[in-house]
Amino acid sequence: MATGNYPRSADEVNVTIGTTLRQFLQVKNAVAQHQTWLAQGSTDLKVAPYSMSAGDETNLKSAISGLNTALQAISMTFVDRCTGP
């Protein structure tokens, strides 16, 4: 199914929605992993090899933290039913 077109069958609905939900789960898990890594006390992005400014580090950590909080708040009941275990 091309982007912007409507699905032509139940199978296309299942495939396209299922793919989207599985991609969402991958992103949700990746953001959670980034949050875990960035939240460690030993993760200092201001030193080599990252050499970020304090402002950039704060912005990055805040963005991931806020995104992770929002994603974790989403009820997964129906997503899990659609994607399976």
* Encoded amino acid at 46, one letter: K
From residue 48, give the alpha-carbon distance in Å to each of 13, 19, 43, 52: 47, 38, 11, 9
* Mean pLDDT (whole number) for 48-62: 96
With a cut of 90, say whether residue 33 has pLDDT above it: yes
Rg (CA), the chain: 18
> Which is higher by pLDDT, 84 or 28?
28
Give the integer Cα–Cα distance in Å for 7 and 15: 10
Whether residue 57 has pLDDT greater than 70: yes
Quote the pLDDT of residue 42.
84
Enumerate residues 6+ apart whose C-beta is below 8 A from 82: 17, 18, 21
The percent of residues in the chain predicted with pLDDT above 70, rounded, is: 95
6, 9, 10, 11: CA torsion to nearest 10:
-100
What was the pLDDT predicted at 13? Answer: 92
Per-domain boundaries in the chain: 12-83
Please give the pLDDT value at position 45. 95
